[in-house]
Amino acid sequence: MAVASAASALNALDPAIQLIVVMASLSLLPFIVVSMTSFMRYVIVFSILKTALGTQQVPPAIVLVGMALILTFYTMSPVFGEMGTILQPMMAHNDSLVSMLMAISEPLKEFMMRQTQEQDIAFFLSYTRDAVPTSPAALTIWEVAPAFMLSELRTAFEIGFIIFIPFIVLDLVVANILLALGMMMLSPTIISLPFKILVFVAVDGWSLIVHGLVQSFR
């Protein structure tokens, strides 16, 4: 595999050069958090919810991102704890940085595989391998990551569709009532927005969605 050969070549470099390469790679950490953790599902569902409610500026985007980030740390805390457990003895033995990175990536890979659908992994493996791996342990994190992102996008939009339906129904009801009253010049959105907020608060919508999202991760 190209990834394995690149890791072996990097592992053979001088430790000082390895440190420079790893420090440069840390600039990609925000992209890793966004694409290889539960953050993607949270932020997409929250964005769809905001669109379904019809509120333009409330809650602000920074609030949704912050909420998704905090929930991501909560969801990923067992994975991060396992990564720390693996890292501690390796640091005590002064293992190479590349070896440590490869080792601590295993819990993250296992998390992604639990959320990824088999057909997505099979699709990407068909372009990188001639034979099917004998076990999930034979997969690399870079083979699992694109399949995980595709599965997360699909799951997030499926959840978003379910969330959207009640708000669409409420919009249709308000629009039909205004049409029956002859108020065709009045925007249905202006009238339906307070009712959507009222219904959402009455059913404790934020708690329902957050609880459902947290429990959706296997």
**Is 142 within a domain?**
yes
Coil/strand/helix, residue 203:
coil
**Is 171 within a domain?**
no
**Is 211 within a domain?**
no
Within 8 A by CB and 6+ apart from 73, the residues are: 80
Distance CA 186, CA 117 (A): 46
Q: How confident is the model at residue 23 (pLDDT cuts 50, 70, 90)?
A: low
How crowded is the C-beta side of 122, counted as CA atoms within 13 Å? 3
Calculate ∠ Cα 85-91-94, nearest 5°.
Answer: 150
On the question of pLDDT at 125 being above 50, the answer is yes
**Is 195 within a domain?**
no
Cβ-based burial of 175 (10 A; exposed 0-12, middle 13-18, buried ≥19): middle
**Is 218 within a domain?**
no
User: What sign does the CA torsion over 140, 145, 146, 151 have?
Assistant: positive
User: What is the pLDDT at residue 12?
Assistant: 53
The candidate with the shortest Cα–Cα distance to 172, out of 194, 191, 157, is 191
Q: How confident is the model at residue 4 (pLDDT cuts 50, 70, 90)?
A: very low
Q: Which domain holds residue 132?
A: 2-154
Within 8 A by CB and 6+ apart from 165, the residues are: none
**Is 113 within a domain?**
yes
**Is 213 within a domain?**
no
pTM of this prediction?
0.80
Q: How confident is the model at residue 67 (pLDDT cuts 50, 70, 90)?
A: very high
**Is 61 within a domain?**
yes
Q: Which two tokens stand for residue 145?
A: 């990551």
User: What is the pLDDT at residue 6?
Assistant: 44
The count of structural domains within the chain is 1
Do 215 and 76 touch, CB atoms closer than 8 A? Answer: no
Amino acid of residue 68:
A
